[in-house]
Amino acid sequence: MKQQRHPGAGGFPALMGVVVACAGLLFGPASSHAQMKAADIQKAVDAAYAKYKDSTDGKNADYIPALAKVDSKIYGIALVTPDGKMYTAGDLKSEVSIQSISKVFTLAYVMAQSGPQAILDNMGVDATGQVFNSINAIEQYKGAEMNPLVNPGAITTTSMVKGGDRAEVWKKILDYHSDFAGRTLSVNEEVFKSEAETNQRNQAIAQLMYAYGHIKDKPLEACDIYTEQCAISVNAKDLGVMAATLANGGKNPVSGKQVLDSKLVPDVLAVMATAGMYDDSGKWLYRTGLPAKSGVGGGVIAVSPGKFGIAVISPPLDAAGNSVRAQNAIADISNALGGNPYWSAAK
Ligand code: DON
């Protein structure tokens, strides 16, 4: 059955939009955020940092050889509020490759270029419940009933970026990530090369998505651009600002640039909530209520809309490919600050 995007974004009657906007100003994210005191935020960040600092759970990804060599002690936390204030702990300088977290921003770019219906019409927005590079998940519905945050959907999403040649498409993707971070990002060439030499499974995935008609042209080029996008180098602050841009209606709270139309932010967050932590997305949502996205480089971002964006970097991963310390630290901090968007007080 052909899916229809919900009418809320784009087709919402103007009057209703005004009512909702006014209610939001009075009772919504801004007042929630004001209730979080700076000292409490820093306290929560410091407590989570200390609690998991000596954890040795998890293991660096090693199917991309360069990732096995990354210092597994790197551990940094950055929480950024919509007023651009940053609350941090630990290592803010070390950079890791963004990996699958990039899928969120390329998805946002394609939604901005072609509209969210283009995603629904192509690979869909349903969780697969399977590992992020599952070929079974492709075979089940011939590459449909998928989502842009697992590899088949993500490589397809990258293939949907409109541009001239490879260089132009790549520049658009990198610039867009940089706008979210508020600084010019670059690629970790060692990681890019290492993954490009060992990504035969992703190449097969790209060919299958091409065979089923989801990738229209040049599947191996799409896979290569996707691999380069995964090698973008970021620190905890970069990821914190990127998450906070999503928490702040698509406007980077540090640079002030409106990077993504606020109408599209709920669509991106919905996909993150459904599939951002892969086959553990349900467990994660149950634990925190937060849309989030992990990467095998060790980063995790999470978004409490209107309240904060948070990122933690720590390379050791669990079996689903999600950073162990990052999940624990984000869950503790968000729970301490009332970040779960499903929470409300009884009247
Ligand atoms: O395609 C891959 O396998 C990696 N470049 C990205 C996978 C990833 O980050 C999964 N995340 N938790």
Cα 101 from Cα 122, distance rounded (Å): 21
DSSP label at residue 220: H
Cα 191 from Cα 162, distance rounded (Å): 25
What's the chain's average pLDDT? 91
Amino acid code (one letter) for 213 = G
Backbone angles phi, psi at 330, to 5 degrees: -65, -40
CB 172 within 8 A of CB 106: no
Q: What is the pLDDT of residue 124?
A: 94
Cα 157 from Cα 147, distance rounded (Å): 9
DSSP string covering 5-61, please? --THHHHS-HHHHHHHHHHHHHHSHHHHHHHS-HHHHHHHHHHHHHHHTT---SB--
Per-residue pLDDT tens for 36-83? 899 999 999 999 999 999 999 999 999 999 999 999 999 999 999 999
Q: What is the pLDDT of residue 35?
A: 67
Task: State which ligand 1 atom lies nearest to the alpha carbon of 227.
Answer: 5
The structure tokens listed for 57 are 């759970």
Q: What angle do CA 80, 84, 89 make, to 5 degrees?
A: 35
Cα 295 from Cα 275, distance rounded (Å): 12
Residues in CB range of 188: below 8 A, 6 or more apart? 66, 95, 97, 231, 232, 233
Q: Is 245 exposed, middle or buried (0-12, 13-18, 19+ CB in 10 A)?
A: buried
Looking up tokens 């669509």 gives: 267
Cα 260 from Cα 242, distance rounded (Å): 11
For ligand 1, atom 11, the nearest C-alpha belongs to: 295
Task: State which ligand 1 atom lies nearest to the alpha carbon of 133.
Answer: 3
Task: State which ligand 1 atom lies nearest to the alpha carbon of 296.
Answer: 9
Q: Is 227 exposed, middle or buried (0-12, 13-18, 19+ CB in 10 A)?
A: buried
Ligand 1 — pocket residues by CB below 6 A? 99-100, 132-133, 151, 195, 202, 230, 294-296, 321-322
CA of 150 to the centre of ligand 1 (A): 8
* pTM of structure: 0.91
Q: Residue 318: which of 7, 48, 37, 57 has the closest Cα? A: 57
Among 230, 280, 313, the mutation site with the greatest number of ligand 1 atoms within 8 A of its Cβ is 230
Cα 26 from Cα 294, distance rounded (Å): 33
Cα 18 from Cα 299, distance rounded (Å): 37
Task: State which ligand 1 atom lies nearest to the alpha carbon of 154.
Answer: 1
86 to 12, 41, 76, 89, 276: CA distances (angstroms): 34, 10, 13, 10, 24
Among 59, 132, 173, the mutation site with the greatest number of ligand 1 atoms within 8 A of its Cβ is 132
The structure tokens listed for 208 are 């299958």
CA of 42 to the centre of ligand 1 (A): 31
| pLDDT by residue, tens only, the chain of 347 residues | 445 554 433 333 333 333 333 333 333 344 454 468 999 999 999 999 999 999 999 999 999 999 999 999 999 999 999 999 999 999 999 999 999 999 999 999 999 999 999 999 999 999 998 999 999 999 999 999 899 999 999 999 999 999 999 999 999 999 999 999 999 999 999 999 999 999 999 999 999 999 999 999 999 999 999 999 999 999 999 999 999 999 999 999 999 999 999 999 999 999 999 999 989 999 999 999 999 999 999 999 999 999 999 999 999 999 999 999 999 999 999 999 999 999 988 88
Cα 69 from Cα 119, distance rounded (Å): 36
Q: What angle do CA 345, 40, 342 make, to 5 degrees?
A: 30
DSSP string covering 199-246, please? -HHHHHHHHHHHHTTSS-S-HHHHHHHHHHHHTBEE-HHHHHHHHHHH
Q: Quote the longest CA-to-CA distance of the chain.
A: 58
